[in-house]
Chains A and B, each alone.
Chain A
Amino acid sequence: MRYADAGYNLEIDLATGNIEKVASNIKDTEDYLGGLGTNAKIIWERVPADAQAFSDDNILIFSAGLLCGTPAYGANRTIITSISPQTKLLAFSMTGGFFAPELKQAGYDKLILKGKSPNWVYIYINNDKVEIRDATHLLGKSTYETLEAIRDEIKDPRAQGLSIGLAGENRVFFASIETHRGSASRLGLGAVMGDKKVKAVVVRGTKDLSLAKPMEFMQECDKVLKYMLYRLENPIKGVPPILSLIGSPQEMLLHDEEWHTNNFAWGNARVRRKNFWNSEIERQWAETQERARKKLISCYNCPIRCAGIIELPGFPTYVMKCYSKITYTMAAMVDSLEFGLKIAAKAQHYGVDGFTTPQVMAFALELYENGILTDSDLEGMPKDSKEEQFFWLLDRIVRREGIGDILADGVYWAARRIGKGAEQFDRNTIKKHEQIPIKLGMLNPIYYIMWSTGEKANITQIEGQLPQAPFPSRELKEEFIKDWIQIPTGKEERFKNFILEWGEEGKNFPFWPSPDLIAELVEWQELMHYVDDSLGLCAGLSSFPLKPPYHIHNLPLFIQYATGIEYDEQKLWNTASRIRNLVRAINIRRGLRREDEKPPEDHWKKRFPEYEQKLLDEYYNYKGWDSRGIPKKETLERLGLGYVAEEFEECGVYNDKA
């Protein structure tokens, strides 16, 4: 009897059409939880180091997290894992919504797609009945239209799906996989799905999912719900409004975008408009948002309404959340929120990443302004309006038409294909992946480590639980730490002192705090994300916001009561470290090394190259990695990853001079 996980994976060989229901090993649940953890184990075992995103031997895994389908609030994430066409490293994007719990209810923890289909298909899972169906008639349909059409076809409005649009069909390197409620956007998983000629996967499940200790589990759920409601009524004082609540930053609810617009860079991650936000802009943007937003909605079993249904005349309806609200507006350097919401409608229906896409287009226009791309490269592009140029570029990219074919590879690869100095305009990628455009003054040593070493190459997937700046007064600091229950055992004093001291005389970046405290703070922030990604919990209720409802103290109880497997804080910490190191090992085997781990040159105005390298040395050492960033043999063995160390030795990873 399995509790909390279904105990089976569904494996489909797309080349032969073979469908198998394969039992999973409960020991893997104990050691790797589920979601990202068990996905990483499967990728390590099955995908050869030289397999690329579009190789026959690359696989695409759609996984529920371990707690998905249980009554744990916000446990609804689908973790999609494969190899990225853009970074050539592990890609593990996630989406909220309703797919993962439905997959569990159908009796599976994962759907694993192997090989490539000869023709366009969609996968329809209805409990034990699994079909590979023809999808030729769905080609060209948008992400949303595709799922609508399939629900009509199978006559089941309760089926849940994931789909790609034109961008995925055309293997755009930053194509997303979308649901009606969210998207797995980062690292080009939509292109992998498109390469496998799978237009959509749809699932319907009506089976039971069991809990090992139901009464205890429900009591923990109850406590979490109470705390969530408390946090919603008690925003953190002394931080910007969008950081004061829980959930994904509440940008569909709130209108105050001062923090993003004044602090983040506009255009091709180049310009800061420090005085952009004023009362007139706030009035206009609030009016636009109120008019466009039909309703605030949630994911499965979650009381926090992070997303908004957006509908503007002449544009298809879609569901939007978080910072994508303004990424297009800021990249195009226009003042209109309405433009951003309109182009995002098209982008989401085409199925592209809302972080990367606007930056690719801003990059193209900067190349044009600097004469590197010419009128002949951009033949047919509207001349006067930035907004129209963005719409035009988007249409070219998702179809890979003309210049769009080059831009569809993302900034890093496009710059190298274009040449003629275009590389110099590749100003905001890490590990070949476009980052959130932030260009600040003074080096932040904590963020330096996180930007450099984050395996997902995306800062929001590693940061969390710490304020972005010191609290403005002693009183606010004390108020913040007085009920800061989320800190790991044994770190309370150090972390609370960090908050208290930060901003006082001599206690400022970059040479404060000490490297070991930096390492501890980074490790805590990061490991909690690995826990969420394996449990299928929304980071918005756990690793991302200040004082989240889920933390290192109650999560072991959730795991234990759900699965019946004994868990405590130390064991969960070890498990998270194991998963984190396995993810790194996959990337190390694929060639990731120290020299790839650096933020863009202009990320901060004030840089300290020698000090930065020292910080990185200290951090690697703290993690048990060697000076090239490779996990040492004893580190791997301590975490139960001896098999990784063995392979590293066999294939000479430890001996390479790279």
Chain B
Amino acid sequence: MELSLKKELGVSEKKKVKFIKIDVDKCHGCRACEVACSAFHAKPKYSTINPARSRIRVYRDELRNVFVPVYASFYTKSECAGRRVYIAEHKEHSPNRAEYIECSFCGAACPSRDLFFEPDSGLPLKCDMCEDDPPVETPWCVKVCPVGALVVEEKEVEVEEEQEKEDEVETGLEALADKYGWDKVIETIVKKVKNE
């Protein structure tokens, strides 16, 4: 069915979305997922390792038996309160530790902490489920997790046409237009095309 027709008829599309389910009880904090993720996303592939570039990070605290993998997932639509939440256990052991403890283990690249930003450029990182050509069956972090703390699951989500993923170029252009105005952007594009 054509998308435009569906829209007119008010039919919503169901789409399968893969995501990584995390079982914190199983995680033993080895950070193999971080190593694998950063290697996979290096250019050329596997050429460098740097957990700071990984789109999955393990928050680990042996003494409180806390091992939480967090992966760079969806952005929250509205700004969160930015409160630093901490697990009750922590408070008991050392009240002032809240200062740096992850805020609620959310998966967004967020200005309130240093997770999921490229260390050089500062650009946000997001998990792409190891998009590759040919496609990989299992994302690398899941593949190297021997205890099954990370599992790929699929869920069906309803997508309306408006929620179709915006083209990256389109998003980029809009951002440029916001900054410089459409006239300037179009003028530049035309100039560029002519030159080439």
Contact = CB atoms under 8 A, between A and B. Distances in A.
B196 interface: no
Contact of A211 (B32, B48, B65): B48
A225 B144 contact: yes
B49 A208 contact: yes
Nearest to B26: A295
B63 A303 contact: no
B30 A300 contact: yes
B147 interface: yes
A125 B97 CA distance: 21
Contact of B146 (A144, A211, A217, A229): A229
Nearest to A299: B30
Interface in B40-82: 42, 44-53, 59, 61-65, 67
Q: Which range contains the number of A residues in contact with the other chain?
A: 35 or more
Contact of A71 (B35, B64, B65): B35
A69 interface: yes
Interface residues of B, number: 36
A209 B32 contact: no
Given A157-B61, A215-B45, A225-B144, A105 B28 contact: no
Contact of B44 (A70, A148, A214): A214
Contacts of B163: none
Contact of A209 (B48, B100, B144, B146): B48
A565 interface: no
Contacts, number: 102
Contacts of B48: 208-211
A301 B65 contact: no
Majority secondary structure, A binding face: loop
Contacts of B35: 71, 301
Given A155-B99, A180-B62, A208 B32 contact: no
B141 interface: no
A296 B28 contact: yes
B46 A211 contact: yes
A105 B39 CA distance: 13
B130 to A, nearest CB: 13
Interface string A293-333: 01111111111010001010000010100000000000000
Contacts of B47: 210-211, 214
B28 A206 contact: no
A210 B44 CA distance: 11
A207 interface: yes
A589 B125 CA distance: 54
Contact of A206 (B29, B67, B100, B119): B119
A151 B62 CA distance: 13
Contact of B39 (A218, A225, A299): A218
Nearest to A181: B62
B58 to A, nearest CB: 9
B36 A309 contact: no
A349 to B, nearest CB: 11
A170 to B, nearest CB: 24
A207 B49 contact: no
A209 B49 contact: yes
A319 B63 CA distance: 8
A152 B94 CA distance: 10
Contacts of B64: 317
Contacts of A217: 46
22 contacts: A70-B49, A73-B32, A98-B31, A151-B100, A206-B50, A206-B119, A208-B48, A208-B50, A211-B49, A214-B44, A214-B46, A214-B47, A215-B46, A225-B146, A297-B62, A298-B29, A300-B31, A302-B30, A303-B32, A309-B63, A317-B62, A319-B62
Interface of A: 69-71, 73, 98, 105, 144, 148, 151-152, 155-157, 180-181, 205-211, 214-215, 217-218, 225, 229, 294-303, 305, 309, 311, 317, 319
